[in-house]
Amino acid sequence: MEIALVVVVVAFALGFDYTNGFHDAANAIATSVSTRALTPRVALTMAAVFNLVGALLGTEVATTIGSGIIEITGDSGAHGLTIVLAGLIGAIVWNLITWWLGLPSSSTHALIGGLTGAGVASATTVHWDVILNKVAIPMILSPLIGFGLAYLLMVAVLWVFRRAAPAKAQRRFRLAQTASAAAMSLGHGLQDAQKTMGVIVLALVAGGLHEGDEIPLWVKLSAATAISLGTYSGGWRIMRTLGRRIIELDPARGFVAETVAASVLYTTAFVFAAPVSTTHTITSAIMGVGATKRLSAVRWGVAKNIGLAWVLTIPMAALVAAIMYFVLRPFLG
């Protein structure tokens, strides 16, 4: 029974990873596609490849997710697996809702909200200090940093290229966007695939099949493959929002937004082991570069809708997960 339940939970974890891929594919490539630096299919292929590579570059974030959010060592067996499964379902449901609505919400926060909601519903220990230090604070700071750095870097770029021929400069930035989109995809894989690795390890520990925080190679490869396949399937609804509805991007602004967002993702993963939102980071960077035109150039009505989705993600995913825990508990233990 428990082995079968472990298989089910791992399958749901990889399903979440897949939805993360197509839900967040737009994060990496929307700016490059909207500025016509890359065609959609080429961009998706490149994003899928670099997501795969990025997923294999580290495990710091996976450790935070696997052992830092909830404590299930005392809830091993079917009950612990039920908690993890309920958390995953909460995250997947919210991902699908926001994908359908075309809102770039955070898969990261959906997963953390789902695990937290299932943990609270089951009276499992929730590490609120970790959630505060590695989720809540980065959730607030990463968009602010993304916005501020993107604004400042864009101002610097505009000054450096102030005498350049606009058409020639934009052609160069269009070429440079290939590199910045690849860097963004690498950062997405580095951050988001690791979260699924952490959940799978959490399930293996609950099922008594693994000890410690070390990530088995098969977990790394399966999570990397799932997010890569999900990315290749595309996220066109969200891509339209990020690429055009927030602000009309030109290649220079697209390059700066991607470069800043990728830098934030690398720093938070390698230095702080913090599971930050790829979505929040790139969206705020797009707003930052857009604000250099003029504040009114940013479509703040769209930004408000995105912000609402950000605020609702953790509590709504937690609510769905809590409900699913009570639904599943009588059947699974």
pLDDT one-digit tens code per residue, 199-226: 999 889 888 888 777 889 999 999 989 9
Closest CA to 267 of 146, 156, 181: 146
Dihedral, 111, 115, 121, 124 alpha carbons, nearest 10: -170
DSSP state, 277? -
Contacts of 30 (CB under 8 A, 6+ apart): 238, 239, 240, 241, 242, 243, 282
Token pair listed for 154: 């864009």
What single letter denotes the amino acid at residue 224?
A
| φ, ψ (nearest 5 deg) of residue 126 | -110, 130
Average predicted confidence (pLDDT) for the chain? 85
Q: What is the pLDDT of residue 243?
A: 46
Alpha carbon distance 151, 149 (integer Å): 5
- Residue numbers of the chain with a pLDDT score lower than 70: 1, 24-28, 73-76, 104, 234-247, 295-303, 305-306, 333
pLDDT per residue as tens digits for the range 247-257: 677 899 989 99
How many other CB atoms are found less than 10 A from the CB of residue 302?
18
Q: What is the pLDDT of residue 73?
A: 65
Q: What is the pTM of this model?
A: 0.85
| φ, ψ (nearest 5 deg) of residue 302 | -65, -40
Alpha carbon distance 331, 333 (integer Å): 6
Dihedral, 215, 217, 218, 221 alpha carbons, nearest 10: 100
